Amino acid sequence: MGLTVRRGEVLALDGVSARLPAGAVTALVGGNGAGKSTLLDVLAGVLEPTSGRVDRPAGTTVAYVPQRSAVPDDLPVTVGDTLAMGRWRELGRWRRLRATDHALVAECADRLGLTGVLGVPLSAVSGGQRQRALVAQGLVARAGLLLVDEPTAGVDAATQAVVLAALAEEAARGAVVVHATHERAAVDRADRVLTLVAGRVDGDRTTASLPAG
């Protein structure tokens, strides 16, 4: 990669190189402004790097779950709609869900404990349920590269556990899973930890070699 991103006066990423393995969950850590969201944006292809490039196998599909705070609370959609949107990229223009798509939505809703609220407006469920709905949308996409920005921020321990288990299952399916986090529990559950400090990689290691505490 060797990614550099200039945002105004700031070098949000400053020569970032990393290998993101398939079949593993990589936690992206670092303080506020370290460049985590910027790196996810670049990996997702929604932000062009100033220099460097992302090498990914041809045909790799990408699902990007942004921070919950980046999604308006009052979107006029149900939880079920939110999950179904995860199929849109594959369905193309008419977005008519097939039986297999409905089955995938139902399966991911079940995995994230959302079956009972599929018909409820996204604006009427709790913050934790909204977070799970966004993650479920990412799972529904069945992408080769799943990028998730702070999926366990501001949710209770039970929801954190459900979300982290779902990410681990996606990796077990063979996906590259990368999520930005500030939560210790999320770092502990990850297979790899990539640490950013001021836009540079400050550590790229398996969790086994992380200091305790």
Ligand X SMILES: Nc1ncnc2c1ncn2[C@@H]1O[C@H](COP(=O)(O)OP(=O)(O)OP(=O)(O)O)[C@@H](O)[C@H]1O
Contact residues for ligand X (CB under 6 A)? 7-8, 10, 12, 30, 32-38, 180
Nearest distance from C-beta of residue 5 to ligand X, angstroms? 8
Please enumerate in sequence order all residues whose Cβ is within 8 A of that of 147, keeping only pairs 6 or more positions apart, or say none. 40, 43, 44, 62, 63, 64, 65, 138, 178, 179
Distances (CA, A) of 164 to 29, 74, 169, 171, 208: 15, 26, 9, 11, 17
Q: Measured from the CB atom, is 86 or 199 closer to ligand X?
A: 199
- Residues 108, 58 contacting (CB under 8 angstroms): no
Nearest distance from C-beta of residue 212 to ligand X, angstroms? 23
Q: Measured from the CB atom, is 170 or 183 closer to ligand X?
A: 183
Give CA–CA dist 118/98, Å, rounded.
Answer: 17
Nearest distance from C-beta of residue 84 to ligand X, angstroms? 28
Nearest distance from C-beta of residue 114 to ligand X, angstroms? 25
Query: How are beta strands 145-149 and 176-180 bridged, if at all?
Result: parallel
Q: Measured from the CB atom, is 17 or 123 closer to ligand X?
A: 17
Question: CB burial class (10 A; 0-12, 13-18, 19+) of residue 168?
Answer: middle
Q: Measured from the CB atom, is 8 or 72 closer to ligand X?
A: 8
Nearest distance from C-beta of residue 91 to ligand X, angstroms? 30
Q: Measured from the CB atom, is 78 or 152 closer to ligand X?
A: 152
Nearest distance from C-beta of residue 28 to ligand X, angstroms? 8
Q: Measured from the CB atom, is 5 or 163 closer to ligand X?
A: 5
Residue 11 DSSP SS3: strand
Residue 33 DSSP SS3: coil
Give CA–CA dist 42/64, Å, rounded.
Answer: 11
